Amino acid sequence: MALEIRKILVPIDGSEGAEKAAEFAGHLARYTNATVTLLRVHSPEIYQLSVLSEIPPLTDFEYMEVMQKHLSDPEKDPAFAEAKQAVGALPAPVDERVVWGQPAQAICDYAKENAIDHIVIGSRGRSAFSSLVLGSVSLQVLHHAPCPVTVVR
């Protein structure tokens, strides 16, 4: 059985690691004629703690409505523009998706639901000890993804 790469998923978060992963994915896509999807995962819990700490409390419904309207548009997110530039020119347009949830789980779920053939994800460069204690999204994806994963440093 030959491994055919037709669909590549690149989770992005605006970090240098995500940009390096996007660049690698672009090279891989050109070599294999695959399509690339950039995936931004937003975690409601994290945004509620950081972004809304100075805003009066909202109900859960109001909070989700505000967050989804503000953060679900790839056109307004500079992380997409940076990642698209890193991917470079491809024959097919780069797809941009935003999902909500716990990052590693959302990435793995998206890959499974969309028959992704390969995930290219950036590493934050944590030491082996801190990764063991704290864990990381890339490590969780590596262990739970339904397809091969390349972690780019």
Residue 92 lies in a domain: yes
Domain count, the chain: 1
Residue 93 lies in a domain: yes
Consecutive 10-residue averages of pLDDT for the chain (153 residues): 87 94 98 97 66 53 60 81 96 94 95 98 64 72 97 94
Residue span of the structural domain in which 102 resides: 7-152
Residue 1 lies in a domain: no
- Contacts for 24 with CB less than 8 Å, ≥ 6 apart: 120, 150, 152
- DSSP annotation of 54 reads T
How far the first Cα of the chain sits from its last, in Å, is: 29
Q: Determine the pLDDT at residue 28.
A: 97
Kindly report the CATH number assigned to the domain that includes residue 65: 3.40.50.620
Structure pTM? 0.83
Residue 55 lies in a domain: yes
Residue 2 lies in a domain: no
Q: Determine the pLDDT at residue 37.
A: 98
